[in-house]
Chain A
Amino acid sequence: MLRKRLTLIITFSLLVIGVFLITQPNKSNVKANKYAQDDHSFILNSKNGQITNDTFKGKAVVLFFGYMNCPDICPTALTDINNAMKDLTSDEKKNTQVVFVSVDPKRDTVGLLDEYVKYFNDSFIGATSSVKYLRKLTRKFYADFSYHEDKNSAAGYSVAHTGRIYILNKQGKLVNTLGSNQVIISDITKAIKEVL
């Protein structure tokens, strides 16, 4: 009798464990699922005209919000992204698009932006829009920006902005983000390769 009860308990326990394991989400998809339901579409202005997610369908998109009069975080991020791309194969490079989105449209025209990003890599695109639209767009990416005047500085105003690197997959969905400050270059490369 005792043996029968023990067998029943063990069998039932194994069944419960089995059901639990089967129903756990695949860890490799957890990150993707975190953002997958959100809308990360964009419509931006570049030197060559309007760009949207559809413009780059079939490519990985690496997106960064910043501004040109940033002497530190932004050029560092663009340099790091460029260095990360050096470890991609030539096909992977062709299928990756970096978009630098300026949140300082007052100073950063599309013409200047194009010239600015081409210094880091010929394939990079610089884009911007109205402040009103940029506020909506950055919110979609859980990012934001703000302007800060300093009357005691010749810098005029500076722009505080979220310093994260955003990775969109070939369908234009945000699937990963990396902090740009002290980022490990190979992590950016890995994140790009994961979506290609």
Chain B
Amino acid sequence: MTNKILLSLMLSFGALFAQQMDKNIEINNAYIRQMPPMMKMTAAFMDIKNTTDHDMVIVDVSSKIAKNTETHISFMNNNGNMQMKHMPEVILPKHSTTHFKKGAKHIMLMGLTTKLNKGDKHTISITFKDGTKIQHTFTVKKF
């Protein structure tokens, strides 16, 4: 009986926390780029808003549709060339929106395990430094 009460309390607490986390982080315009069919990698983009009064740090991203998922950034290097590199951590400043967009930060999905059709919806999980994790639905777009 005690175990059941404890379990119920834990589940309720977990649900409340998840709900709070959803309010702390708002994600909009989340989409995955559709690539030529034989390509096994692509990029995902989003506007991610940190509504809290402290910086949040993304330390991991994952998805069932890819063997490897990472945060990357495209940038112009010192030679004036466009380059891309892995960003193991992405800081989301407090009270602001960070744009994962073309020519800038993006989520790289590598080793795709499924074909991406326009309009398909897939979940990407985002883990933060404090251990919290959220999941968000991204839509496949051809653009």
> Is B85 touching A71 in the complex (CB atoms < 8 A)?
no
Contacts of B72 in A (CB 8 A): 71, 153, 155
> Is B79 touching A144 in the complex (CB atoms < 8 A)?
yes
Confirm or deny: B108 has a beta carbon within 8 angstroms of a beta carbon on chain A.
Answer: yes
> Is A152 touching B86 in the complex (CB atoms < 8 A)?
yes
The count of residues in chain A whose C-beta lies closer than 8 Å to any C-beta of chain B is: 32
Considering only residues 1-39 of chain B, those with a C-beta below 8 Å from chain A are 33, 35-39
Return the chain B residue nearest A112 by Cβ. B38
Q: Contact size class for B?
A: 20 to 34
Return the chain B residue nearest A148 by Cβ. B83
Partner of B82, one of A73, A75, A112: A73
Contacts of A152 in B (CB 8 A): 86, 88
A22 to B141 CA separation, bound complex (whole angstroms): 54
Return the chain A residue nearest B105 by Cβ. A72
Which residue, A112, A119, A180, A182, has most C-beta atoms of chain B within 10 A? A119
> Is A155 touching B70 in the complex (CB atoms < 8 A)?
yes
Chain A residues within 8 Å of B, Cβ to Cβ: 68-73, 75-76, 79, 112, 115-116, 118-120, 144-146, 148, 150, 152-155, 158, 160-163, 180-182
A150 to B79 CA separation, bound complex (whole angstroms): 19
What string of 1s and 0s marks CB contacts (under 8 Å) between B43-82 and chain A?
1000000000000000000000001101010101101111
> Is A75 touching B35 in the complex (CB atoms < 8 A)?
yes
Contacts of A118 in B (CB 8 A): 36
> Is B39 touching A181 in the complex (CB atoms < 8 A)?
no
Partner of A155, one of B37, B88, B103, B108: B108
Which residue, B68, B77, B102, has most C-beta atoms of chain A within 10 A? B102
Contacts of B108 in A (CB 8 A): 71, 155
Confirm or deny: B90 has a beta carbon within 8 angstroms of a beta carbon on chain A.
Answer: no
> Is A119 touching B36 in the complex (CB atoms < 8 A)?
yes
